Each structure stands twice: as C-alpha cells, then as structure tokens.
C-alpha cells in the first residue's frame, strides 16, 4: 500500500454527491487512409503500455487511510470502451465528467468515439484527479497513447524556477513568505456571478487559436507580457462578453491560476498532484483589450517576482506537517467562492506532431472538474502550433457554455486588432 499525499487527499476531499473529481484529455485524430482503428486495436495499444504507468494498475483503498493498492489485473475491456452511439463529442465529454469511475478498479477509463465529424475520431481519456494533475497526465499520455514520445517542450505554462532552499529556511525568507501570503490571502470579497450550489449536469465546449496569434499579441504588448498573460486576458474578454450578455455586473473577477511544482522533465514516476497557485484579478470593467492585458501582466509579474506560488506551497506543506487542522482551515478558505470565481489552468503540450496508432492528432483539449460554488472551469493546453481550450460548466448555473468558449476566440481577435 502507498499512502496518498496530502495534495492528493485534498483533491479527493473535493468529491461530493454532485462532484466526481475527474480530469480529462480529449484527443481528436485524423481517420487516416484506413479509417479509425478498431476498439480491439485501441485496447491492445493501451494494454501493451500499461506497465509504463504503474499507477494505472492500482486501485484506491480508503480503509483505514487513503492509499494506492499493489498493482491489480486490469480488465482492459472495462477501461477502454466505445462511446454510446449517437453522442457527439461535447456530449461524451459532459457525460464523462458528470459520471463516476468504478472504485473497484483503477480510476481511469478511455472512451473511443469512432466518428467525431470531418473524417475524424476521438479519444476521451478520464482520470481521477487524485491520481494525476494536468502535468502528470501529459507525461502519461506520452507513455500510454502517443506512438512516439514527443520532444519535451515548454510552449505554455512552465514549472517555477527551482529555489535554493525552502522559503521558511531564513528569517528573510519567512518575511517574504508572509508578504506573499498577504497578497494571495486578501480579505474575502462578495461572491461573483458564478456562485450557487453545483448540480449533477455538465456542459462542455471547445475553443482554439494559433499560437502565432498569441505570440504576435505578446510582442505587440511588450512590457514583459507572456503567452500565459494573453491566455488570461482572452478569458477576461470572454467573461466580459458573457457578463454583458447576461446583464450581470462587471466587477473585477478574481481567478485562481494553478502553478505546477513538478520537476521539469518527462518522468512518468513524478506522480500525483504537485500544484500551487496564484490569484489574479481580471479587470472585466475595462473595455480596451490591450489595457486589460497589461493590467493582467502587472498582476502576474508581481506574483512571479516574489515567488508567491512557491511561498503558498511551502506554507501549506508546513501547516500540513505541523498543524493539520490549521491546514484544513486554510484549504477551506482557499476554496471559498468569495476568494475567486473560477480556475484557469494552462499546461504545456507536445511541440512536435504526435500520432496514435499511426493516425495524426489534430486537436488536444483538457478538461478539469468544477468545484462547489465554482461552476466554471477553463483549461488550456498547447499542441504544436495551436492553443486549445476546454470549457466545463454546470449549465443550470451558467447558461451559454458555447458562448463562453466562443468568447475566448473573439477576445483573441480583439487583441490582435487592438
């Protein structure tokens, strides 16, 4: 038995009667000259590689404490299945994210959609978030799915620069940590437009744009603006359009931006969840897209300069070791809808072309579970020369999921022409 880490347990604790706790990668592929592969071909492809990712052969045990079991036999037919006939890709993703994984088996599955439109087929790969975060899943995809592992790349978000020692190791470090926590744990504000009790339904939508467009905006903005800043500004523009359409207030929207703490590299044994975060205020009331972008950059630059994400990670780890009850209080505070309205993640994907069973991957999307009173989640991932976005919502609380996704593309076009 292998005990879950504190980070993994925190993810497990997010589960409720309406929140399943998954993360998901959606892979859209060309059919190729011979058409999509058979379900037996896909099963054989994955089964032959399972030994590369031992976690995918372990079950979750909860008694007496959460732990991963020793490897168990995997019934590949139960884990790799055809999607029900008649469902289109957004429906498959929404159903998968709303459903539950079977706790009697390792917590992952793969649905094959033989017809995804335009001569394409798709894989919807669902993993419980307690097993893997976005960075871990990208490493596992190289091991389990891609025909050849892509060259390690960092085209989007990158792990933080390694620190010489924990920030608490010196008096000056402790002072810097206190300042960082002060920035990130500011007094609570009123809940934003996306509050409410989460239901059991999900809606999924997709957006994409050329990375060259993001780079052009990055260069035009100057002042140290990054592609991550452009992504956040594009989401800010989409939220502004949504708020105007829904006739809700344009107060600033505080969002939570995960920051990977994984060591850089392709090691599939760097397991589980190793994320910190920073909070960023998006100026939804600002009508000028370039001004919004530069405001976002000022926020992120300050947090990166002072290593806020590392400080928060160190502080929570210390609390977990020394005073677990206080750590639990801090975790609850950080999940408060008055602290932030939604989570926006950005994970680097392969820079080079990839394929599965000889069929080229056209699109790669990421989805992550929404949380209680946080009914919107936006995840970005890069592939070759494209940035792709997955938008997941509770449609009862957030009407217009497709409009949120389309608004990202509209916002990028506005930034290009600004």
What per-residue confidence (pLDDT) applies to 402?
98
Residues 211 and 285 in one domain: yes
What per-residue confidence (pLDDT) applies to 14?
83
How far apart are the C-alpha atoms of 6 and 56, rounded to whole Å? 20
Report the CATH number that the domain containing residue 233 is assigned in CATH: 3.30.559.30
Residues 134 and 262 in one domain: no
Residues 338 and 291 in one domain: yes
Please check whether residue 257 lies inside any domain of the structure: yes
What per-residue confidence (pLDDT) applies to 248?
87
How far apart are the C-alpha atoms of 139 and 268, rounded to whole Å? 6
Residues 113 and 247 in one domain: no
Residues 279 and 398 in one domain: yes
Residues 172 and 283 in one domain: yes
Residues 85 and 195 in one domain: no
Please check whether residue 351 lies inside any domain of the structure: no
What per-residue confidence (pLDDT) applies to 418?
87
What per-residue confidence (pLDDT) applies to 67?
94
- Exposed / middle / buried, residue 218 (Cβ in 10 Å: 0-12, 13-18, 19+): buried
Q: How many domains does the chain have?
A: 2
Retrieve residue 341's tokens. Answer: 């309205």
Q: How many CB atoms within 10 Å of residue 327? A: 19
Contact 69, 59 (CB under 8 A): yes
Alpha-carbon distances of 184 from 153, 160, 322, rounded to whole Å: 29, 17, 21
Q: Which domain holds residue 120?
A: 2-144
Residues 174 and 140 in one domain: no
What per-residue confidence (pLDDT) applies to 336?
57
Show pLDDT as tens, one digit a residue, over the chain (418 residues).
Answer: 889 988 788 888 888 999 999 999 999 999 988 899 999 999 999 999 999 999 999 999 988 889 999 999 999 999 999 999 889 999 999 999 999 999 999 999 999 999 887 889 999 999 999 999 888 899 999 999 999 754 444 334 444 444 444 444 444 454 455 554 455 556 545 556 777 889 999 999 999 999 999 999 999 999 899 999 999 999 999 999 999 999 888 776 888 888 765 555 555 455 555 566 788 889 999 999 999 999 999 989 887 765 554 555 555 555 555 566 555 555 555 555 457 889 999 999 999 999 999 999 999 999 999 988 899 999 999 999 999 999 999 999 999 999 999 999 999 999 999 8
What per-residue confidence (pLDDT) applies to 165?
44
Report the CATH number that the domain containing residue 17 is assigned in CATH: 3.30.559.10
How far apart are the C-alpha atoms of 347 and 262, rounded to whole Å? 12
What per-residue confidence (pLDDT) applies to 227?
95
């Amino acid at each position: 038995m292998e005990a879950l880490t504190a980070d993994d347990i925190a993810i497990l604790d997010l589960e409720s009667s309406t929140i399943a706790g998954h993360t998901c990668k959606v892979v859209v592929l060309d059919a190729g000259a011979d058409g999509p592969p058979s379900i037996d071909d896909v099963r054989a492809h994955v089964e032959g590689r399972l030994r590369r990712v031992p976690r995918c052969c372990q079950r979750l045990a909860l008694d007496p404490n959460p732990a991963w079991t020793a490897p168990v036999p995997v019934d590949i037919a139960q884990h790799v299945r055809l999607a029900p006939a008649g469902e289109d890709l957004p429906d498959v993703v929404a159903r998968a994210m709303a459903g539950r994984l079977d706790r009697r088996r390792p917590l992952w599955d793969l649905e094959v959609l033989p017809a995804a439109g335009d001569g394409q087929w798709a894989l919807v790969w669902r993993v419980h978030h307690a097993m893997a975060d976005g960075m871990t899943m990208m490493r596992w995809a190289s091991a389990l799915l891609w025909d050849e592992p892509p060259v390690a790349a960092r085209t989007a978000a990158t792990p933080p620069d390694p620190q010489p020692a924990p920030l608490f190791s010196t008096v000056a470090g402790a002072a810097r940590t206190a300042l960082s926590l002060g920035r990130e744990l500011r007094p609570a504000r009123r809940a934003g437009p996306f509050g409410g009790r989460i239901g059991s339904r999900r809606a999924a939508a997709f957006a994409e744009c050329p990375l060259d467009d993001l780079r052009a905006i990055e260069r035009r903005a100057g002042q140290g603006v990054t592609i991550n800043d452009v992504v956040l500004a594009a989401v800010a523009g989409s939220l502004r359009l949504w708020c105007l359409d829904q006739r809700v207030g344009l107060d600033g929207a505080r969002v939570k931006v995960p920051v990977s703490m994984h060591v850089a590299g392709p090691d599939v044994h760097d397991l589980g969840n190793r994320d910190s975060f920073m909070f960023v205020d998006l100026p939804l009331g600002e009508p000028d897209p370039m001004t919004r972008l530069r405001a976002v950059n000022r926020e992120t630059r300050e947090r990166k300069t002072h290593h806020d994400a590392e400080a928060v990670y160190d502080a929570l780890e210390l609390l977990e070791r020394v005073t677990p009850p206080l750590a639990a209080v801090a975790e609850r505070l950080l999940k408060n809808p008055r602290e932030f309205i939604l989570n926006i993640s950005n994970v680097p994907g392969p820079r080079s072309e990839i394929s599965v069973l000889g069929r080229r991957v056209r699109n790669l999307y990421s989805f992550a579970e929404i949380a209680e009173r946080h009914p919107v989640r936006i995840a970005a991932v890069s592939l070759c020369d494209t940035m792709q976005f997955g938008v997941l919502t509770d449609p009862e609380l957030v009407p217009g999921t497709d409009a949120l996704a389309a608004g990202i593309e509209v916002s990028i076009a506005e930034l290009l022409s600004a």
